[in-house]
Amino acid sequence: MVKYVKTSLSILFILLSVSSLSQNIVPNTKLKNLESEFIYTNDVLIENNFYIVSFWATWCIPCINELDAIVDIYEELEKDNIEVIAISTDDARTKKRVRPMINGKDWNFKILLDENHDLKRALNIVGIPHTIITKGTKIIYRRIGYSPGEEVDLFEFIREYE
């Protein structure tokens, strides 16, 4: 009986883990903008619009490299009505570095803050940079990590998806 319960619990745990990994909708989660105003993801991710959502932190060099590279193609993305949203996952210890970093960059896209990691946890994000492409709130692509040139792949994915 004990062996049966342990096996059943193990199977249940695996199924729950797999289902959370396959999250395909961005949950309506409260974030902050740079003015410390609360904003909900459903108010940002408009139905039928494409978004490149990049989870990053000030201490993450690949994250910063990816966002810097996105700047180079951002004008082309805007022409195709693709919005970029950079969501900082800096916590209480490092959040004071976000604004100075942004001020030193040419990032013209929307910056939001996930200080409590509510959205990061809800999407089961364990590593950054973590980039998601959505159509409205529907997740259509996910990628962890960054290598030079992969920013163009994001744009190509959206073009092929349409």
CATH of the domain at 76: 3.40.30.10
Encode pLDDT of 75-105 as tens digits: 888 899 999 999 999 998 999 999 999 999 9
Q: Does 14 reside within a domain?
A: no
Encode pLDDT of 124-162 as tens digits: 999 999 999 999 999 999 999 999 999 999 989 999 987
Residue 162 pLDDT: 72
Q: Does 15 reside within a domain?
A: no
Eight-class DSSP state of 25:
B
* Band of residue 13 on the pLDDT scale cut at 50, 70, 90: very low
Q: Does 111 reside within a domain?
A: yes
Q: Does 106 reside within a domain?
A: yes
Q: Does 5 reside within a domain?
A: no
Residue 23 pLDDT: 77
- For the chain, the straight-line distance linking the first and the last C-alpha, in angstroms and rounded, comes to 53
Contacts of 120 (CB under 8 A, 6+ apart): 55, 87, 89, 114, 130
Give yes or no for residue 117 having a pLDDT over 60.
Answer: yes
Is pLDDT larger for residue 136 or for residue 9?
Answer: 136
Q: Does 121 reside within a domain?
A: yes
Helix (H) or strand (E) holding 142: strand 138-144
Number of domains in the chain: 1
Encode pLDDT of 47-80 as tens digits: 999 999 999 999 999 999 999 999 999 988 889 9
* Torsion, Cα of 22, 24, 28, 33 (10° steps): 90
**Which pTM was predicted?**
0.84
Q: Which residue has the tokens 């989870």?
A: 55
By residue range, what is the domain housing residue 77?
25-161
Q: Does 11 reside within a domain?
A: no
Q: Does 88 reside within a domain?
A: yes
